[in-house]
Amino acid sequence: MHHTSDQQYQPKSYVEISTPEWVKSATLYELNVRQFSVEGTFKAVEQQLPRLKKLGVDIIWLMPIHPIGELHRKGSLGSYYSVKNYFEVNPEFGTDEDFKNLVQAIHDEGMFVILDWVANHTSWDNNLVNEYPEWYRRSRKNTFQSTRWRDYDDIIELDYSHPELRRYMTDALKYWIREFDIDGYRCDIASFVPIDFWENVRSELDDLKPVFMLAEAEDRDLHRRAFDATYNWTLWNILHQIAVNHYSVKTLTEAYLAEHVSVFPKEALRMNFIDNHDKNSWEGTPYSNFGEALTAVTVFTFMMDGIPLVYNGQEAGLNRSLEFFEKDPIDWQTHDNTRLYSTIFALKHRNQALWNGRFGGEIVRIMNDKMDQVISFVREKNGDKVLVFINLSKDPVIAQFDTSFDKGSYQNLFSEAEQIVDETLIVDMAPWDYIVLHRTL
């Protein structure tokens, strides 16, 4: 007699934390306060919140808001990632009161806010340098040093072998939640800081309120007890190769998606992006050179499972890197991207198939006869369904899809026309063409 209830044979979830309910259909928006407006202030951000809400943004990630180091500063304004004090706001952006008001205004719009947190290093003139010099790593010459093997002259690396440093940093992370009611963090180079530090941080923050934690890292380990979401650089690199160097779509399906659905825990979110403050031009070429290809890969990242990211300015067709150490405001012009993003995000909010992680549907292949050029898949959850067909190539193609499992009536997301799907779907696709069909119970 076999007792299948024996504990050792029961499937166990790898992920032991639970992502807050409000993340289930959420989109992310990375906001650079300095460049977001001519004023470069918290108050100026507040004025654009209704626009972001309308775009379909749910979680605003603010790039670091702390005072910036002056010693060995880069450029005239310095890098946000050179933090001078973890308990203060950058006076260029406004006061504590202004920041409180911004957080409140974000919440009033039904959105959430996470802060960018730099735990690995500080500026040379951070208050800790004089108070606790022993908390910093030393070179062989016994001098302060940048993150090892990196050439960042404006920062020096902390040493997490000190329990007191861990307590200090955890208290600082708790401070912004307690005093300002923020909703979580995006953690800079998170895997360069010991994982046991983050796992404890998560439990202490969750005691205050349910938080959303995003790691700038790709490590699966971080999902177990610390982070809800990690970066999807691998996907970015593959989509880049397809759009710029015309790699086969099999690079995406066989080298990436097969592993993604088999290896990555369903509860863990990958942050999918085309653009962020580190990656915002392709091979030094402005995005405008790849307009149609860029739109096609953007549609893929928004339809794929994981949490999608928009970098401020993308919705206005931003096609260059913003200056990092100088003032360089975004040119807010009207652009087709606004309609594209808001259309997809509106669908994401109402169609459970597109929800994030365990809340949404797995990405399942639909077979076609042009697998080198065309990606086709279905996602389904609780009767909600989305079918996606994208020509990820520079050539027109007539593709035949096996839709025998997906027969029925759908709405085309972009034309809004009704589409009847039979056993087989045959589509004449222009280069970089995409079709999204959906139905909601």
282: confidence class by pLDDT, cuts 50, 70, 90: low
Asked if residue 352 lies in contact with residue 361, where contact means CB atoms within 8 angstroms, the answer is yes
- Token pair of 394 as six digits: 């520079």
- Token pair of 42 as six digits: 């918290």
pLDDT of residue 5: 73
Residue with tokens 């379909």: 56
- 3-state SS class at 14: coil
How far, in whole angstroms, is CA 135 from its chain's centroid? 31
Phi first, then psi: give them for residue 188, nearest 5 degrees.
-60, 140
Whether the model pTM is above 0.85: yes
What is the per-residue burial (b if ≥16 Cβ within 10 Å, else e) of 151-170? eeebbbbbebeeeebbebbb
Angle between helices 291-303 and 336-350 (to 10 degrees): 10
Q: Dihedral sign for Cα 93, 98, 101, 105, please.
A: negative
pLDDT tens readout for residues 339-396: 999 999 999 999 999 999 999 999 999 999 999 999 999 999 999 999 999 999 999 9
Lowest-confidence region among 54-63, 88-97, 240-249:
240-249
Q: How many Å apart are CA 416 and CA 27, to the nearest integer?
A: 23
Q: How many Å apart are CA 436 and CA 438, to the nearest integer?
A: 7
- Token pair of 148 as six digits: 């090892």
